[in-house]
Amino acid sequence: MSVSVASCAKSKDEAVSSAQYRDGKFVNSATDVQSGTGNMGAIVKRLLLEKRVDPVPAKSLPMLTPTQAELDAIAGDLAVRLGHSTVLLRLDSQYFITDPVFVDRASPVQWAGPKRFHAPAMALDDLPTLAGVVISHDHYDHLDKASVRRLAQTGTHFYAPLGVGQRLIRWGIDASQVTELDWWQSVTVGSTQLVATPAQHFSGRTLWDRDSTLWASFSFISQHSRVFFSGDGGYFDGFAEIGERYGPFDLTLMETGAYDEMWDGIHMLPEQSVQAHRDLRGKAMIPIHNGTFDLGMHAWYEPMERALAAANVDGQSLKIPMMGQVVEIGAPFEQTVWWREAETPEALSLAQAQ
């Protein structure tokens, strides 16, 4: 059972009393998680010498740009990928957004770093009124200072793991707009229960603040739908526990990108993402954390191809929408292989032969 909390940011003393906080930093439930940093020399060597295959799309991605009027014309709960891990959800007529990143680069600066393949499917100013902004952790591809400060001006509320809310407040967001959550704590927003659930990852925005804030997945429990948002993380037994407590989920938004076997402790391989979806007792899955930034060593389209193949093994319902394409939760979805339109001819021939 989740523990409810009041809508407020935690003090530092409350954060360090968390069971996830030990010896001056936040930790994973498993003590042997490998982040890949122990192999930093090998990783740097690969980055410098390994020949990349299709790290970015060969041409512009097909995408849609929905308007609020178009969304309002659709009955029921829905999800819209706007980019990377930024997903607009409508549950019980309330809108939420996850990990909003609307800037050009997932980086400390906007003149260098991973540049997005496409514009956000909706502009910040075109978003509907939000009941909440949900932030999984503080990495640059999930938490962007400019985007959240713009959203804060609308008066919306932010829900974040321990320590991340304090960062928002330091950026000038009013404390009354911030709620921090430890794992298994929850709040009720209108008719939707929002639960911060465990994840296996790490945090930090500099070389000096590693694991100073918590990371989390989130479970949305509304009157009509149950949605799971993975945030970032490696595969672990926590997915099964979340599925037991809050499943079955009508939709899972599963991290599927920026992975490699050298750091699979903190980013799932696509096959693991699909297995986590099974563990969660998910009915349909959208692979996220792909298709916007080049953050791994794999081809930009590989997460979709591998996740689709893994799901087809036992008939899992995988929905891979174009950016901006509406997914109606619980409704049929006509899947296309839209990503192949932006692949190189060589990669397309290989994919079609598989």
Q: What is the CATH number of the domain that holds 202?
A: 3.60.15.10
Rounded to whole angstroms, the Cα distance separating 320 from 286 reads 6
Q: Is residue 20 situated within a structural domain?
A: no
Q: Is residue 11 situated within a structural domain?
A: no
Rounded to whole angstroms, the Cα distance separating 117 from 228 reads 26
Q: What is the pLDDT of residues 277-315, one digit of tens each?
A: 999 999 999 999 999 999 999 999 999 999 999 999 999
Query: Residue 261: what are its φ and ψ, rounded to 5°?
Result: -65, -20
Question: Higher model confidence: residue 276 or residue 6?
Answer: 276
With 0-12 / 13-18 / 19 or more C-beta atoms within 10 angstroms meaning exposed / middle / buried, residue 185 is buried
Q: What is the pLDDT of residues 209-262, one digit of tens each?
A: 999 999 999 999 999 999 999 999 999 999 999 999 999 999 999 999 999 999
Q: Is residue 114 situated within a structural domain?
A: yes
The residue segments making up the domain with residue 161 are: 52-353
Q: Is residue 264 situated within a structural domain?
A: yes
Could you give the strand order of the β-sheet that contains 185-189, starting from the edge strand earlier in sequence? 3-4, 185-189, 192-197, 217-221, 226-229, 251-255, 285-288
Q: Is residue 25 situated within a structural domain?
A: no
Q: Is residue 15 situated within a structural domain?
A: no
Alpha-carbon distances of 152 from 118, 158, 175, 292, rounded to whole Å:
24, 8, 11, 24
* pLDDT band, very low/low/confident/very high, at 271 (cuts 50, 70, 90): very high
* pLDDT band, very low/low/confident/very high, at 346 (cuts 50, 70, 90): low
What domain count does the chain have? 1
pTM score of the predicted model: 0.93
